[in-house]
Amino acid sequence: MGTEGRGNQPRLICGGSSLRPRADVTMAFLIHLLVCTFGMGSWVAINGLWVELPLLVTELPEGWYLPSYLTVIIQLANIGPLLVTLLHHFQPGCLSEVPIIFTVLGVGTIACTLFAFLWNVTSWVLGSHHSIAFLVLTFFLALVDCTSSVTFLPFMSRLPTHYLTTFFVGEGLSGLLPALVALAQGSGLTTCANITETSDTTPIPETTRNMDSPQGASSTLVSELARTAPSVVHLESHYLPANFSPLVFFLLLSFMMACCLIAFFFLQRQPRRWEASIEDLLTSQVTLHSIRPQEGKDLGPPGPEDSGKGQEPLEEKTAPRHLAHLTFIYILVAFVNALTNGVLPSVQTYSCLSYGPVAYHLSATLSSMANPLACFLSMFLPNRSLPFLGVLTALGTGFGAYNMAMAVMSPCPLMQGHWGGEVLIVASWVLFIGCLSYVKVMLGVILRDRSRSALLWCGAAVQLGSLLGALIMFPLVNVLRLFSSADFCSLQCST
């Protein structure tokens, strides 16, 4: 009887297994949510600084030279990923991602909180005021985000492949969420104001403003001079007041970083569940083929172990081809990130502002939305074909070339003042970001299936490409000044 009772146990387990899919779906959803939140912390801080710049430049003494300062500081922060990569290469196993990621996210959360209270503190240095506290905190935030490229991705190798796509969705949200907050804040919104400029005086706003004066006689004298002196009335762009202060904005950024820290805390405490999910995935032959390469060498092709004497000649033939494929993939990673993180962001204002503030804000917001949407699309329509990814890269580069051409032609690009020009520039930016974001995700998935070390070098290629893109554009924009900014309110372009 006892044996028969025990013999019924498999049926109880099988009956209980009908409830297992629901629990598995819930657990998988929670892990996807945690991974997405974790990925969001990769670049949310620096992206937040960039979208807040239109408000910061009106308050800080550096003015519109502040973006060039930020570009240099962010590139100096690449010392972090460089150090991590060198340690992994020369002393493998000496570094663990978990304590580094905890440190990185902790520093990022504290730095964002300090930003809220110190962003407008200035110091007297070299005969003028400078935002020393702002620049120092920017370096720490950049160090956090740059180092995330070579620590977050290797950590993701502990999870099944499909979670890597969710990570890239979260990375895309790191640009979208700060942009939406800045949009709600009203950062960078402008209006056209009538300005009266006399021949011998500075520009003064026309009549509708109340000019405070201690004496009635002096205001009468000003009005008499205004009637007698020759004057010119023209339109200028004026920034509208924000709906809430930068203090609130930076506190929201620190909250996002804290959410990322909490998500990582729960992720790294559940390795057993990941191992179980990997064992479940091994029932699929496709997944088995994708996971198997990480058991072998990083650069070696996954060949059958029992091929006998013909194995060595086969490896000799396929190893150069796999090395060429890896080289192509890493070059593609560096090239795509150079365009999306260094080259084109430097000229987005030049390419869009000539079409008006609406076109600029739509291009900035919708292109930020295109990033996570492209990553989400790759979950359902994955394509790892290198020729296809090469063609898609060429297509995205074509849209980027159009954006660059419009920036070079600023302040009078093609179809300026026509609704068709606004539609084209917004669509071009969205398709540029969308195409190359899909390519980045697929390249990351390919390298994830090869090995953990491949993901580490993928992060290094990301930072190298971003660095080269920024180094190329910095002298063109800030030294040679090849691009001209546009004031939409006072444009006079021949049609």
DSSP characters for 352-389? HGGG-HHHHHHHHHHHHHHHHHHHHHHHHS----HHHH
Q: What interhelical angle do 162-185 and 419-450 show, nearest 10?
A: 150
Q: Please report how many Cα atoms fall inside a 13 Å half-sphere around the Cα of residue 467, on the Cβ side.
A: 18
Handedness of CA 406, 189, 62, 345 (dihedral sign): negative
What φ, ψ does residue 448 adopt, rounded to 5°? -60, -40
Predicted local distance difference test score (pLDDT) of residue 284? 36
Distance CA 242, CA 359 (A): 20
Find out whether 197 and 470 touch, Cβ atoms under 8 Å: no
CA distances from residue 200 to 103, 121, 203, 230 in whole angstroms, order as listed: 59, 36, 10, 9
Distance CA 491, CA 495 (A): 12
Beta strands in 55-172 (DSSP E): 123-125, 128-130
Predicted local distance difference test score (pLDDT) of residue 128? 81
Predicted local distance difference test score (pLDDT) of residue 375? 84
Look up residue 196 and give its two tokens.
């009266």
Question: Other CB atoms closer than 10 Å to residue 177's CB: what's the count?
Answer: 21
Find out whether 462 and 337 touch, Cβ atoms under 8 Å: yes
Predicted local distance difference test score (pLDDT) of residue 430? 93
What DSSP character marks residue 242? P
Cα 376–Cα 379–Cα 380 angle in degrees, nearest 5:
105
Q: What is the pLDDT along the chain (495 residues), one digit of tens a residue?
A: 444 444 444 444 444 444 556 767 888 889 999 999 999 988 899 888 888 887 888 788 877 778 777 877 887 888 888 888 888 878 777 778 889 999 999 999 999 999 999 988 888 887 788 889 999 999 999 999 889 888 898 888 888 888 888 898 898 888 889 988 888 888 767 777 777 766 555 554 443 333 333 334 434 434 444 455 566 666 667 777 888 889 999 999 999 999 999 999 999 887 544 443 443 433 333 333 333 344 333 433 344 334 344 444 434 445 566 788 888 999 999 999 999 988 888 888 888 888 887 888 788 878 888 888 888 888 888 888 899 999 999 999 999 999 999 999 888 888 888 888 999 999 999 999 999 999 999 998 888 878 777 888 888 888 888 888 888 888 888 778 788 877 667 667 765
Beta strands in 109-161 (DSSP E): 123-125, 128-130
Find out whether 372 and 165 touch, Cβ atoms under 8 Å: no
Q: What is the largest CA-CA distance in the chain?
A: 115
pTM value is 0.70
